[in-house]
């Protein structure tokens, strides 16, 4: 640990459902880095946590400003990004077989390190979950890849898709618009389903081969004659009516219901049995998946389409409002004042020493849960007075 704890500002949710700037005090552990945040994407998952007293944001990009004494993977001045998972034990069955994101001792957004987030001036993270941003990529473009990109790339790369497959993508938002680009460049036929007719042209420009408007009324159907799909990547904030897809899925197709913090998946049971369909859980990308994704984006010129906001209370609240209203095309990105949009940063490292306006916080490690379960042991609870 460094001798002197460091103070910085983290934008937190609150029981009043308002964004609150909070003073976070951290020491830098042996294998941790202090990162000055320059950019953060705003994921639909964040909208579920604005009412929880915890640091918001999990699509962070910034510049390494200080290193713990045992850090070997990064150096001061490096640009790095991070996503949903921040820590794992690296010594269990999952960790030792490349499944560190499923480690039972993992710490992840909403469940651990609650005093920190990517909507902040700084954060202190384990070096193992900080990913170097390639020089050829701007920090603004890298931010949405840290959750949205990794979530869809992880599924597309690690779950047995083939380039000859037909891949359905439901919901064209932050995740969906990147999924179309990835699946297209991986060589698949990409079939998109959206509730918004106005997204047709852009979906085709992202690389979709087909675009269908999803019926919103119960019992309504998709047009006849859609050739069947081998995969259905569900990137919408609400689960679709599964009946709509029964005639569109190939027997033994796989469904990936990425939609989080929603109701349980209730799939027509006999259809599941008779068609041999698999419903496959999937969450972000492994560490190797992140490295591969960043390289794949450079190689294939894949970029998110961003809508920028200032990284302030007002900026975050406006972004949250616009995301819920469905007006963002296609990912909201919060940009810190002074961050150079070309990817370099001009922020002042001295700001880490500033004493911001604070709200009193208490962090209890391994305490009571935040009312949500994650299948892991260890939950932090943060109270904002």
Positions touching Zn ion (CB under 5 A) are 43, 45, 88-89, 92, 95, 103, 147
| Segment interacting with ligand NAP, rule: CB under 6 A, options 73-81, 115-123, 256-264, 298-306 | 256-264
Whichever of 191 and 347 has its CB closer to ligand NAP, that residue is 191
Whichever of 124 and 180 has its CB closer to ligand NAP, that residue is 180
89 binding ligand NAP? (CB under 6 A):
no
Query: Which residue is it, tokens 């931010």?
Result: 143
Whichever of 68 and 83 has its CB closer to Zn ion, that residue is 83
Minimum distance between the CB of residue 356 and ligand NAP, rounded to whole angstroms?
28
Cα separation, 52 vs 37, whole angstroms: 21
The 10 Å CB-count burial string (b at 16+, else e) for 239-254 is bbbbebbeebbbeebb
Residue number of the CB atom closest to ligand NAP: 173
Q: Is residue 334 packed enough to be buried (19+ CB in 10 Å), middle (13-18) or exposed (0-12)?
A: buried
Read off φ and ψ for residue 315, nearest 5 degrees: -65, -45
Question: Among 284, 302, 339, 361, which residue sits at the site for ligand NAP (rule: CB under 6 A)?
Answer: 284
How many residues of this chain bind ligand NAP (CB under 6 A)?
28
What, of ligand NAP, Zn ion, none, does residue 236 touch, CB below 5 to 8 Å by kind?
Answer: ligand NAP
Cα separation, 329 vs 173, whole angstroms: 7
Question: Among 22, 28, 44, 133, which residue sits at the site for ligand NAP (rule: CB under 6 A)?
Answer: 44
Cα separation, 341 vs 353, whole angstroms: 24
Cα separation, 356 vs 373, whole angstroms: 33
Closest CA to 256 of 228, 286, 227, 277: 277
180 binding ligand NAP? (CB under 6 A):
no
Minimum distance between the CB of residue 152 and ligand NAP, rounded to whole angstroms?
8
| Segment interacting with ligand NAP, rule: CB under 6 A, options 63-71, 195-203, 301-309, 373-381 | 195-203
Q: Which of residues 218-237 bind ligand NAP (CB under 6 A)?
A: 235-237
Complete DSSP assignment for 157-223:
HHTT--TTSEEEEE--SHHHHHHHHHHHHTT-EEEEEES-GGGHHHHHHHT-SEEEEPP-STT--PP
| Alpha-carbon distances, residue 44 vs 62, 263, 292, 326 (angstroms) | 21, 15, 24, 10
258 binding ligand NAP? (CB under 6 A):
yes
Cα separation, 380 vs 385, whole angstroms: 16
Minimum distance between the CB of residue 6 and ligand NAP, rounded to whole angstroms?
29
Own/partner pairs, 214-222, CB within 8 angstroms, 24+ separation: 214/170, 214/240, 214/244, 215/244, 220/244, 221/247, 222/193, 222/247, 222/248
| CA 93 distance to own-chain centroid | 25
Minimum distance between the CB of residue 235 and ligand NAP, rounded to whole angstroms?
5
Question: Among 53, 112, 149, 174, which residue sits at the site for ligand NAP (rule: CB under 6 A)?
Answer: 174
Q: Which of residues 142-171 bind ligand NAP (CB under 6 A)?
A: 147-148, 151, 171
Question: Among 196, 280, 359, 376, which residue sits at the site for ligand NAP (rule: CB under 6 A)?
Answer: 196
Question: Among 136, 238, 265, 365, which residue sits at the site for ligand NAP (rule: CB under 6 A)?
Answer: 238
| Segment interacting with ligand NAP, rule: CB under 6 A, options 38-46, 117-125, 183-191, 271-279 | 38-46
Cα separation, 48 vs 114, whole angstroms: 14
Minimum distance between the CB of residue 205 and ligand NAP, rounded to whole angstroms?
14
Whichever of 148 and 167 has its CB closer to ligand NAP, that residue is 148
List contacts with ligand NAP (CB under 6 A).
43-45, 147-148, 151, 171-176, 194-196, 199, 235-238, 258-261, 283-284, 323, 326
């Amino acid at each position: 640990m460094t001798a002197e704890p460091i103070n910085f500002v983290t934008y937190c949710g609150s029981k009043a459902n308002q964004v609150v700037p909070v003073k976070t005090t951290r020491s830098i552990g042996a294998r941790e880095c202090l990162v000055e945040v320059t950019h953060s994407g705003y994921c639909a998952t964040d909208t579920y946590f604005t009412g929880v007293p915890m640091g918001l944001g999990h699509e962070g990009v910034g510049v390494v400003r200080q290193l713990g004494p045992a850090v070997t993977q990064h150096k001061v001045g490096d640009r790095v990004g991070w996503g949903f998972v921040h820590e794992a034990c690296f010594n269990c069955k999952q960790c030792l077989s490349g499944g560190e994101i499923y480690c039972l001792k993992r710490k992840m957004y909403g469940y651990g390190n609650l005093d920190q987030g990517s909507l902040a001036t700084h954060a202190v993270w384990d070096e193992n979950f900080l990913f170097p941003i390639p020089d050829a990529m701007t920090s603004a473009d890298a931010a949405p890849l840290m959750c949205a990109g990794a979530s869809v790339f992880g599924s597309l790369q690690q779950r047995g898709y083939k380039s000859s497959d037909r891949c359905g993508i439901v919901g064209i938002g932050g995740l969906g618009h990147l999924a179309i680009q990835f699946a297209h460049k991986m060589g698949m036929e990409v079939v998109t389903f959206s509730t918004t007719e106005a997204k047709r042209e852009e979906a085709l420009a992202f690389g979709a081969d087909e675009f269908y408007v999803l019926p919103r009324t119960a019992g309504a159907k998709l047009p006849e004659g859609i050739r069947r799909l081998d995969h259905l990547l569900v990137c919408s904030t609400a689960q679709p009516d599964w009946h709509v897809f029964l005639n569109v899925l190939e027997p033994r197709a796989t469904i990936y219901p990425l939609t989080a913090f929603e109701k349980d998946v209730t799939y027509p049971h006999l259809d599941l049995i008779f068609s041999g369909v698999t419903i496959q859980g999937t969450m972000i990308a492994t560490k190797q998946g992140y490295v591969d994704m960043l390289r794949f984006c450079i190689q294939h010129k894949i970029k998110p389409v961003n809508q920028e906001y200032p990284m302030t209370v007002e900026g975050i609240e406006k972004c949250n409002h616009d995301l819920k209203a469905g007006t963002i095309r296609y990912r909201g990105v919060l940009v810190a004042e002074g961050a150079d949009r070309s990817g370099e940063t001009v922020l002042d490292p001295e700001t880490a020493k500033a004493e911001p306006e604070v709200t009193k916080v208490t962090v209890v490690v391994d305490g009571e849960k935040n009312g949500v379960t994650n299948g892991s042991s260890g939950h932090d609870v943060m109270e904002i007075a």
